[in-house]
Structure 1
Amino acid sequence: MNFQINTGEELFLVVILAFLVFGALGICVAVIHLYLSVKQLALPAEKSPKEDLYAGGTFWNRLFRVPPSSANDSLLMEHAPDGIQELDNPTPPWFMFLFYGTIVFAAVYLVIYHVAGDGDIMNREYTTEIAAADKAREAYLKKFANSVNENNVTVLKDAKAVTEGKKLFDQYCVACHGSAGEGKVGPNLTDEYWLHGGTVKAVFHTITEGVPDKGMLSWKKQLNPIQIQQVTSYIFSLKGSNPAGAKEPQGEKLAAE
């Protein structure tokens, strides 16, 4: 565990922790001292009737400090506000153990979760779960993507797939084909003319394998088959858009699928 104080908030938490720890120790010492002092002052030569009430009981009676009901008269307190009589029963030992245990638990919790940073507080737990979900999603998409190939690829029509294809096109294809597919170094993608085939399978193959003789890279290492299908679908959505500055037709004219 690498303990470092990097921010003012961490320093503040350390100070609070120190106050809690030393405060708890101080309270324990004070309580023990007070208990011993009171016990010494109140201790007569012989055991008091109140002590005898708990001395002869069972383990559970001593643990919970529960005297027999027949001893209630000897436990009555002198004052009786509004005529209500009270019994002078001490705090049960189990309750005191529980109380001091909560102080120790709070100190340990503060160190682990807010000072050392080893505990899964809400924000850290959320980040961890999101990262795990992203990995699972990537693994699923990778597995699913491998099911798409040149033989079964189709044009995707849903808006989400086309939008994803546009994002990929803008990232990888704009330099050669223009932001609207009008063509620059590469051919115009919005007309009916194709250099390497105009079917969805042909376009998918061209993007996947590239055209080395013409300077077009193979994108199968950068893009998975699903992403290539999305780019292909976006290219088909550009048909007939007639962007400004469109490059002259190249290749063979083919009817749209």
Structure 2
Amino acid sequence: MSKECSVFVNGAAIVLVSTGYGGAKEKDLMNSILFAQLVANKRVIKNSATNWSTEYLGVLGDFWVRNFKVRHDISLEKNQLAAPVEWAAMAMANSDEGEVRALAESLEWIARLPCSSPELNMLRSKAQPASVGDEMLDPASLKAVRLLVILAQNPPSMTCLCLEFKTRKALEGNPWTQHFRAEDVDGPVSARYFRATLSETLYELYRNAIALKVRDRLSDNVVSLAKAVDISTVLAHGELDHE
């Protein structure tokens, strides 16, 4: 399994796409990931009781066939100080799936990303979207945070981890390495990961409609984060090949 990937920000997700994925396949991947996030966002705005992760997975499930799905609810201990990258590693620690282990390795690479960049600014704004009405009433109101990391491989498949939690703290720097105390987080941290394969037959029914829906949203949601990099080399030497 190749560890050489191109890396993108796609909404609240960091997406690592393995070399050889292909232009048309990559377009389908990126469009479907963004579309699922946009639909989940819209449904949560309409009904605050709606679970974002459930909606996101439900939309993807229309054309990405899941091979497995795992959920962990992580309760933070009093006085504990930890970052999302640590919660994610904890959630996947006992998996014996090769793709999940590769996804866990990518978290170490993500943790090395610089704290200040236009790409991470975009990521933070999508991972913790502003609720203008709530902020006007109470600047310290609880805000949902959703962070995703996705490893896409060829033939078209993805392994995805989604973290979701609520906090009064604003995201700063690299949100994957920002530390939170137990008292900063309301309730448990929800961690879900799954592996899915794209059904060409099912996606053919949606491809044009999804492309049209996301067409005007790509520029403010999707950006290249790094050129093709060898994840194993980055882990060893801490290198990042920016564009």
Tell me which interval the TM-score lies in, with the shorter structure as reference length.
under 0.3
Which TM-score applies when normalising by structure 2? 0.21
Which TM-score applies when normalising by structure 1? 0.20
Which structure carries more relative contact order (alpha carbon 8 Å, separation 6+)? 2
Question: Whose Rg is larger?
Answer: 1
Structure ranking higher in helix proportion: 1
